[in-house]
Structure 1
Amino acid sequence: MASDRLDLVIFGASGFTGKYTVLEGVKLLENLSWGVAGRDEEKLKRTLKEIGDKCGKDLSAIPIIIADVRDENSLQKMAERAKIIVNCCGPYLHYGEPVVKACINAGTHHVDVSGEPQYMERMQLEYNDLAREKGVYIVSACGFDSIPADMGVVHLENHFDGEVHSVETYLKSWTTGPASGAGIHYGTWESAVYGLANAKELSSIRKKLFKEPLPYTKPPQIKRPVIHKSDVVNAWCLPFMGSDRPVVLRSQRFFYEQEKKRPIQMQAYVQFKSLLTVLLVSLMGVVFGLLTKCSFGRQLLLKYPKFFSLGFISHEGPTEEQMKNTKFSITFYGQGWPKEDALAESTDQHTTMPSKKIVTRVTGTNPGYGATCVALLLSAITILNEKEKLPLTGGVLTPGACFAKTNLISNLSKNGFDFEIISAHETDSATN
């Protein structure tokens, strides 16, 4: 990798997520050389001027690189200018692969904030071996909510002092002050629409990618009703349909295959204040799922995001006031066995029920953009600064697989995230 390269280039810097990545980058990238990239030079200049005015800094000297996802040559030239590309240009299902390909060809690392399992797992299937051969790390899901979820499981396991059998996660988001309008930008909605529309591809990809099932230890996998009341968070819950569970399970597979570590079972839920809210969200989910199945339905969802999301999604995205007032937490409930009851081999089976439990939590502010952009940049910085702590020689990896042995959790904790131990103790039998 050429020594005259920029440390980092933010691609898609004039987009909604890209702008906030530049904003966070002014502070986090202070000691690094960095640039911005996109297809429109004037928009990039305006972005640097806007962010510079907001921060009280002159960003006019930041290098600008012209690159378009539809122009492979421009992507190759961009990748050759950087040690790592921070890719903010989604939906990644449509636009991610050419950037990944250019990065691998140029020997350049790549991080993004995709929450699209089809894209992430297909990149692993098709490019993992080549990335490892070239010494390149390709890491997706480096934003909210997969960084808190995946690294949160790593955090829980690090503090369990025993053998973890299962982890259940409970996502909560709320506002702390007056805020109105959409909570999520249109780009996230677009990714969800196309992700669900192409969900059938996942089965085929996974058959090729995961040829052997993981050797989960008994008792059987966690099973709860679709709608249930959790004693852990004292709230009504639904299965969380985001990428948390697929990402965490890919991490667990990596640990099993590379370290012979026993894989944990994992389920992800989202919590609500009332049963009525759960029923309303469930109804919206059914309508959303049905509409993604046909071209006309997808066109309706993409044309009228505010209507179909009850005002939660818009092309303008949330206001700065709303983002500042939005908080999140993910509560982790882990069960397992104390250290003295741990088994020697990852394929051995326990004959007793889990007798130890732990509750941990990750919290933060502005999950969709502020926390996402901080996590994204810190992931990139970790690859640059702690390569000796990264696994193997490269590859297409999850955050947990890539960063488990690094200082990423510590650095996240210094920049707006809070990783807590709520309780931990042994019991006569598993509860909840």
Structure 2
Amino acid sequence: MAAESSPPGDFDIVIFGASGFTGRYVLREALKFLSTPTSPLKTLALAGRNPSKISEALAWAASPYSPPPIPIFYADVSDSSSLLTLFERTRLVLNCVGPFRLYGDPVVAACAEAGTDYLDICGEPEFMERMEVEYHERAKMTGSLVISACGFDSIPAEMGFIFHSRQWESPAAANRVEAYVVLESERSIVGNIGTYMSAVLGVANVSSLQELRRSRPKRARPQIPSPPFKPRSIKRQKSLGL
């Protein structure tokens, strides 16, 4: 645990949920930057409801890097004061605690209240859109930047879209982008319980997402003439590598 005498605002990043399946890998990547002299990341802290498990995760992740001492704090989504007290001391929170539908709201609320920036690995549309509705005004007032979908199921699609959009020259413009993901591995591909629960809860509560979207004012979007959309299956041609 970190000493209570640590000065406020002394952390660049707090990884919340660093002992979870994904949090451990996020921690390992963060240590790469922390161990690089030219990296802008200078101070890092870890937080979660079980500091002893976080210590184990840190020992697992730190072995190749020999990082400086990293403080570990208790923080629990059921204890809003523990979140707010810690988040007021950092510039950015990386939230790895899911499913976000169950555990994400208090973390976003605390960041919006503290004026702390927030990133997560969420891929749950209903959660992301609900957070925008509930905390946009408060985050805008405090200067908190809240960004979701920084995980595997979102970043490749974003990169593909950006690349695709740059291939068009005005006045030409894409009217639709379809994306799909292919997973390949020499080993068995397995998921973890958090991802499984997120998928199950997302399907089970799809009506909540529809209701949320119906309740929001429609955004003005440019109308680009296009042929009627006909859903079709996408097949991969392995012989061509496509």
Indicate the TM-score class for this superposition, using the shorter chain for normalisation: 0.7 to 0.9
Letter of the aligned partner of 2:113 in structure 1?
Answer: N
State the SS of the aligned residue for 2:182: strand
User: Using the alignment, how far apart are the partners of 2:108 and 2:231 within structure 1?
Assistant: 38
Letter of the aligned partner of 1:42 in structure 2?
Answer: S
Letter of the aligned partner of 2:215 in structure 1?
Answer: K
Match of 2:75 among 64, 67, 74: 67
User: Using the alignment, how far apart are the partners of 1:22 and 1:111 within structure 2?
Assistant: 14
User: Using the alignment, how far apart are the partners of 1:187 and 1:58 within structure 2?
Assistant: 28
Aligned to 2:3: none
Q: Give the strand-richer structure, 1 or 2.
A: 1
State the SS of the aligned residue for 1:83: strand
Letter of the aligned partner of 1:234 in structure 2?
Answer: Q
Aligned to 1:304: none
Instruction: Show CA shifts across 1:254-304 (max 9, x none).
Output: xxxxxxxxxxxxxxxxxxx9xxxxxxxxxxxxxxxxxxxxxxxxxxxxxxx
Residue 8, structure 1, aligned to residue 16, structure 2? no
- Percent identity over the alignment? 39
The 5 A counterparts of 1:198-237 are 198-212=205-219, 214-225=221-232, 228-230=233-235, 233-234=236-237
Runs of 4+ with deviation above 4 angstroms: none
Q: Aligned in 2, Cα 1:29/1:221: closer, same or farther, shift over 3 Å?
A: farther
Asked if the contact 1:125/1:208 (under 8 Å) is kept, the reply is: no
Aligned to 1:383: none
User: Using the alignment, how far apart are the partners of 2:137 and 2:50 within structure 1?
Assistant: 34
Unaligned runs of 5+ in 1: 236-272, 274-328, 332-432
Q: Aligned in 2, Cα 1:85/1:221: closer, same or farther, shift over 3 Å?
A: farther
Shift, 1:148, TM fit: 1.5
Shift, 1:196, TM fit: 1.0
Aligned to 1:165: 175
Aligned to 1:194: 201
Asked if the contact 2:32/2:65 (under 8 Å) is kept, the reply is: no
Residue 101, structure 1, aligned to residue 109, structure 2? yes
Aligned to 1:111: 119
User: Using the alignment, how far apart are the partners of 1:71 and 1:3 within structure 2?
Assistant: 20
Shift, 1:29, TM fit: 3.6
Letter of the aligned partner of 2:225 in structure 1?
Answer: K
Asked if the contact 2:122/2:149 (under 8 Å) is kept, the reply is: yes
Aligned to 1:122: 130
Normalization by structure 2: what TM-score? 0.86
State the SS of the aligned residue for 2:123: coil
Q: Aligned in 2, Cα 1:140/1:229: closer, same or farther, shift over 3 Å?
A: closer
Letter of the aligned partner of 1:214 in structure 2?
Answer: R
User: Using the alignment, how far apart are the partners of 2:137 and 2:30 within structure 1?
Assistant: 31
State the SS of the aligned residue for 2:184: strand
Match of 2:62 among 46, 52, 56: 52
Shift, 1:165, TM fit: 2.1
User: Using the alignment, how far apart are the partners of 2:224 and 2:78 within structure 1?
Assistant: 47
Shift, 1:223, TM fit: 2.0
User: Using the alignment, how far apart are the partners of 1:114 and 1:81 within structure 2?
Assistant: 23
User: Using the alignment, how far apart are the partners of 1:147 and 1:72 within structure 2?
Assistant: 30
Higher relative contact order (CA closer than 8 Å, sequence separation 6+): 1
User: Using the alignment, how far apart are the partners of 1:195 and 1:101 within structure 2?
Assistant: 21
User: Using the alignment, how far apart are the partners of 1:154 and 1:45 within structure 2?
Assistant: 39
User: Using the alignment, how far apart are the partners of 1:3 and 1:81 within structure 2?
Assistant: 5
Shift, 1:170, TM fit: 2.7
Q: Aligned in 2, Cα 1:229/1:145: closer, same or farther, shift over 3 Å?
A: closer
State the SS of the aligned residue for 1:156: helix
Unaligned runs of 5+ in 2: 1-6
User: Using the alignment, how far apart are the partners of 1:229 and 1:37 within structure 2?
Assistant: 42
Match of 1:17 among 22, 39, 55: 22
Normalization by structure 1: what TM-score? 0.50
Q: How many residues align?
A: 228
Match of 2:161 among 149, 153, 168: 153
Shift, 1:213, TM fit: 5.9
Aligned to 2:45: 35
State the SS of the aligned residue for 1:214: coil
Instruction: Show CA shifts across 1:314-351 (max 9, x none).
Output: xxxxxxxxxxxxxxx9x8xxxxxxxxxxxxxxxxxxxx
User: Using the alignment, how far apart are the partners of 2:184 and 2:78 within structure 1?
Assistant: 38
User: Using the alignment, how far apart are the partners of 2:143 and 2:88 within structure 1?
Assistant: 15
Shift, 1:234, TM fit: 3.2
User: Using the alignment, how far apart are the partners of 2:220 and 2:228 within structure 1?
Assistant: 13
